[in-house]
Amino acid sequence: MGITIESQGENIVCLAPKYHHLYNGNEQNDDIVLLLNRMKGVSEKNANLTTNDYIKCLNDGCNINVTTNNLQMKMDIMSVITMEKSVLTGIHNKMVVLSNGCCVPLKYGISTDHYIID
């Protein structure tokens, strides 16, 4: 199995696994060139998110919701289901962040006190 580079850029904002935004430029000067936008479970076209949305969520811990439409078939009846999903959130509940900024997997009964940082 080989390893390949998917994309390269100057800046990346990662809120959680599978939620990242890759861009070139400076967010203070609004000269941003979007290179890559990844969100798990939400269409990128429907979300209309910008780099500033990612940065605002990272700094302020705000939630950004998007309405999505899904087709579902039950008992030979097709229906459209409209759901509201949290696209960006400052909450990440699958990892534990240590005092040095490293992330470790969340395991039941193990807190940050159990890890030794050299």
In this model, does residue 16 exceed pLDDT 70?
no
Residues in the chain: 118
In this model, does residue 35 exceed pLDDT 70?
no
- Rounded to an integer, what distance in angstroms lies between the CA atom of residue 78 and that of residue 5? 40
% of the chain exceeding 90 in pLDDT: 1
Q: What is the pLDDT of residue 19?
A: 64
Tell me the pairing of strands 77-88 and 33-38.
Answer: unpaired
Global pTM reads 0.48
Which residues, other chains included, contact 12 with Cβ-Cβ below 8 Å and sequence gap of 6+?
20, 21, 22, 23
Triad 57, 63, 69: Cα angle to 5°: 125
pLDDT-based confidence at 67, cuts 50/70/90? Answer: confident
pLDDT-based confidence at 14, cuts 50/70/90? Answer: low
pLDDT-based confidence at 115, cuts 50/70/90? Answer: confident
